Amino acid sequence: MTARVFIDGEAGTTGLGIRERLAHVPGVSVVSIDPDKRKDPEARKAMMASVDAVVLCLPDDAAKESTALAASLGEKAPRLLDASTAHRVNPDWVYGFAEMTEGQADKIRKAKRVANPGCYPTGTIALLRPLVEAGILPADYPVTINAVSGYSGGGKALIEQHESGKAPHFELYGLGLEHKHVPEIEGYSKLTTRPMFVPSVGHYHQGMLVSVPLHLNTLPGKPRAADLAYALRKHFDGSELISVAGEGDAALASGKVEPEALNNTDKMVLRVFGNDTRGHAVLVAQLDNLGKGASGAAVQNLKLMLGLK
């Protein structure tokens, strides 16, 4: 049986990425609404009633409107996967990071509503939550997160600025320290102290690095860098998409890591760079912000929701 999927907002960067990936997934048929009816509530409602799942690739307010539209169908409502930030910390939605903790993939399989994670939170949570759960990183530790993304993560306006040559080659942003991803990072990393998050954007299309510096001597038991890597490796053991770099990794050997190495894949690589003599470590997540950080994660969640391999 073929599952029918409607991407509400398929013309955007994430929607196009999801559609492209689903074209290679057996058992899925992507259906589209007539372009002139994309903003017609009744036409969209009729489309929703005819499919198994709807992916919301919309601004937050529009995603909430589409959610209400789907809910008005009652028992005929399709399953929803929201790629916006509108429902990521809503307790009525299941968080769509399958590898986050034991049992999360099963929750996604059973859920009627799943919130797709943000790209920055995906890397950050992967680095922090296993350490918090292992008791290595206290939940109240004052975490600082630095991250850089390609400009494709900023939407159409930013993409146009970079591709027209009007944007700088690198810039920090979100320096009001109220970035919309912070509640998501804090909650799902199981932190009790609000982290400080400093994002940036580079003049390249896609690819992401998330880094977290740690003073090992301030942590309980004064762990070594290898202890952190072991905890991460144990947590993600058996994962098809997330790996923890170890002996022989070129980046660990060189002390350098770049953001574009995993572009056009749905993989994420975690690394622990350490100097035990100084008591310092830097946790780094490397991923494609359009892959595991967006469209790739959405397709992974859809497969779970629809019972596909």
Residues 40 and 8 in one domain: yes
Q: How many helices (H) and strands (E) does the chain have?
A: 10, 13
Burial track 250-274 (b if 16+ CB lie within 10 A, e otherwise): ebbeeeebebbbbbeebbbbbbbbb
Nearest residue to 83 via CA among 308, 304, 301, 309? 301
Amino acid occupying residue 145: I
Residues 128 and 58 in one domain: no
Residues 111 and 126 in one domain: no
Segment (H or E) for 149: strand 144-150
pLDDT digit string (tens) for the chain, length 309 residues: 899 999 998 888 889 999 999 999 999 999 998 888 888 889 999 999 999 999 999 999 999 999 999 999 999 999 999 999 999 999 999 999 999 999 999 999 999 999 999 999 999 999 999 999 999 999 999 999 999 999 998 888 899 999 999 999 999 999 999 999 999 999 999 999 999 999 999 999 999 999 999 999 999 999 999 999 999 999 999 999 999 999 899 999 999 999 999 999 999 999 999 999 999 999 999 999 999 999 999 999 999 999 997
Give the rounded distance of the alpha carbon of 85 from its chain centre: 11
Count of structural domains within the chain = 2
In tens, the pLDDT along 145-175 reads 999 999 998 888 899 999 999 999 999 999 9
- Cα distance between residue 246 and residue 203, in whole Å: 30
Any residues with CB less than 8 A from the CB of 242 and at least 6 apart, and which? 99, 126, 236, 267, 268, 269, 270, 292
Catalytic residue check, 119: yes
Q: Write the CATH number for 196.
A: 3.30.360.10
Residues 187 and 91 in one domain: no
Residue 305 tokens read as 């929701």
Residues 134 and 73 in one domain: no
Residues 67 and 147 in one domain: no
Residues 144 and 265 in one domain: yes
Residues 30 and 167 in one domain: no
Q: Write the CATH number for 101.
A: 3.40.50.720
Domain that holds residue 176: 119-289
pLDDT at 265: 96
Residues 231 and 103 in one domain: no
Residues 241 and 190 in one domain: yes
Residue 115 tokens read as 């919130």
Residues 154 and 280 in one domain: yes
Any residues with CB less than 8 A from the CB of 173 and at least 6 apart, and which? 199, 200, 201
Instruction: Estimate the share of the chain in helix, then strand, then coil, as percent rounded to the nearest 5.
Output: 35, 20, 40
Q: Residue 169, SS3?
A: coil
Residue tagged active-site, from 119, 145, 219, 294: 119
Nearest residue to 232 via CA among 196, 294, 281? 281
Residues 38 and 137 in one domain: no
